[in-house]
Each structure stands twice: as structure tokens, then as C-alpha cells.
Amino acid sequence: MKKIVLATFLLSLSSSLLMGEDKPKPKPLTPGGVWPKGSMERPRPRVVDPPGFSSQETAGQAPSDAVVFFDGTDLSGWKAQKKSDDGNEAAKWKVENGYMEVVRGTGPIQTKDQIEGDAQWHVEWCAPSEVKGNSQGRGNSGVFIGGYPEVQVLDSYQNDTYPDGQASALYSQYPPMVNASRKPGEWQTYDIVVVREKKDESGKVTQPGSITVLHNGIVVHFARETGGKTPSGGLSLQDHGNPVRYRNIWARKINLVDPDSEGTPPPGKAK
Ligand code: MG
């Protein structure tokens, strides 16, 4: 009897060894096929101090990894989009009380620096509290990022106009999904994500260029395809003749291709 039990045990042991049942099963991989699920070896996401909240009275602070284009101090990071006849390219908009304001007739201004690749932009703006004009003549300005359509700035609070020209519309293309406008004289926010077109070695598009826009925290465009765009771009602001104000303008470069490559080593491990 003992011999039979021993033989059965050995048989089951050898078959389980043959079947590899005693080996730990490899963990399934996460998307991308590099890191197993739950791996403690995976680089930790870089730590970023998030932005401070803005109130109607005060602009919040930019996140720690942002390029700050306007912090309410001066226009040193900006230039006129067109040089004047004497070759001067200084931005001539007014700066006071922590904001810049369009000065009619001085023309659009643009950032001196650009952000390469995919990026997240933050812009705060305010239409004049004194309501003048209507439709496109009321609080009109605009935000342009590196060849993408104008993200319209307009006082669209109880001010009807053509939908593809109202606040946060991609001008002449798409109206926003909803009208999330605040009252004139109140600060509003645009958070804009631009994604550049990606191609493989054969030239086939693997990811289309797109733009996503949040107006006052509300998604109004989600991944609108924009076709091939330049791989970098600054931001410019429109002079449409109305004294629109801007504050707290910053951008972050984002890495959609390989976020792990920007991570930091696990605790206790050298990079
Ligand atoms: Mg405009």
C-alpha cells in the first residue's frame, strides 16, 4: 500500500514538473508590452506641484514643471506678431494689476518661446465688465496655438452670434459642445491640450493631430482632429479691438509617446 501511495505521489510530482505547474506564472503585461502588471520596478511618475486655484480676485500659481509665459508682471516673454515700420517688435499691450489688456490697434502678440511637441496650455481671460456692442463686437479676442484654429475669445454670456464664432469655438469650424461662459467682467479659463500628428517610419499616420479644450473646467472640444501641424508652437493672442484682459498663461510639455521615460527610479534604486 505504501509503495502505491509513494508511486502515485512521485507520478503526480513529475507530471506537475513537466507541466511547469510549480513555476510562477509570468504576470500579464500592461499596455505597451514592457511592464508587468503591478511591477515595483516600473519608473515612478515624476512629482509635480499642481497649480494653485485661481479666484476672481487672484490668479493661481502655475504647476512646478510649467513654462510661465505671463505671471502678471510684464510682457518680457512676448513680442508683437508684426514688427512696426521702424523694426520694433515690442508687445504694446497694457499691463497692470496682474493682467495684460489688449490695446486697440497695437496688433496681436505672441510668445517669444515655443513648446515643442504635445502640450497642455492654460489661459485665463476676462471680457470687459462694461458691455458694449453685440455678437462679434463684444469682448472679442482669441487664442492661437502653433497653427491650430483660433480658440475664440468672446463675451458669449447672453450675447448671440454664429455658433462657430462664439466663445471657445474653434473659429469657423466647430462650436463648443456647450456654452460655459461666465458673465462679462468675470475671469474665465481655457485649458487646451494640443497633440501633434505622429507617423511611423513609412510615413503612415499612427496618431492624428488633435485639440482638446476645457472652458471654465468644462470639456467643450474633445480630441478634435486637426490634421498635420507643425511639431512646435507658441501662443498668440488676438487684438480684435476690444479691451479683453489675460492673466496666468502657462504651458507644460507632455509626453504621450513614452511617459515611463520621464519617470524616476523606484525608491532606493539608482537611475
Ligand atoms: Mg476672435
Residue type, 171: Y
Inter-residue contact 176 to 221 (CB < 8 Å)? yes
Per-residue pLDDT reduced to its tens digit, 188-202: 999 999 999 999 999
pTM for the whole structure: 0.89
**What is the predicted pLDDT for the residue at 4?**
52
How far away, in angstroms, is 241 Cα from ligand 1 center?
10
Secondary-structure percent of the chain, ordered helix, strand, coil, rounded to 5 = 10, 30, 60
**What is the predicted pLDDT for the residue at 2?**
55
Q: What is the mean pLDDT of residues 54-72?
A: 97
- More confidently predicted of 113 and 85: 113
How far away, in angstroms, is 74 Cα from ligand 1 center?
23
**What is the predicted pLDDT for the residue at 238?**
97
**What is the predicted pLDDT for the residue at 230?**
74
Residue 15, phi then psi, degrees to nearest 5: -70, -35
The grid coordinates of residue 10 equal 512521485
Per-residue pLDDT reduced to its tens digit, 124-158: 999 999 999 999 999 999 999 987 899 999 999 99
Per-residue pLDDT reduced to its tens digit, 207-248: 999 999 999 999 999 999 988 777 678 999 999 999 999 999
Domains of the chain: 2-44 (no CATH), 67-253 (2.60.120.560)
**What is the predicted pLDDT for the residue at 52?**
96
How far away, in angstroms, is 57 Cα from ligand 1 center?
25
Residue 83's CB is within 10 A of a number of other CB atoms, namely 12
How far away, in angstroms, is 14 Cα from ligand 1 center?
77
Per-residue pLDDT reduced to its tens digit, 110-128: 999 999 999 999 999 999 9
Angle at CA of residue 224, ends 123 and 109, nearest 5°: 35
Inter-residue contact 143 to 190 (CB < 8 Å)? yes
How far away, in angstroms, is 150 Cα from ligand 1 center?
7
pLDDT > 70: percent of the chain: 92
How far away, in angstroms, is 65 Cα from ligand 1 center?
29
Computed over every residue of the chain, the mean pLDDT equals: 91
What DSSP state is assigned to residue 163? G
pLDDT over 80 at 162, yes or no: yes
Residue 136's CB is within 10 A of a number of other CB atoms, namely 16
How far away, in angstroms, is 165 Cα from ligand 1 center?
8
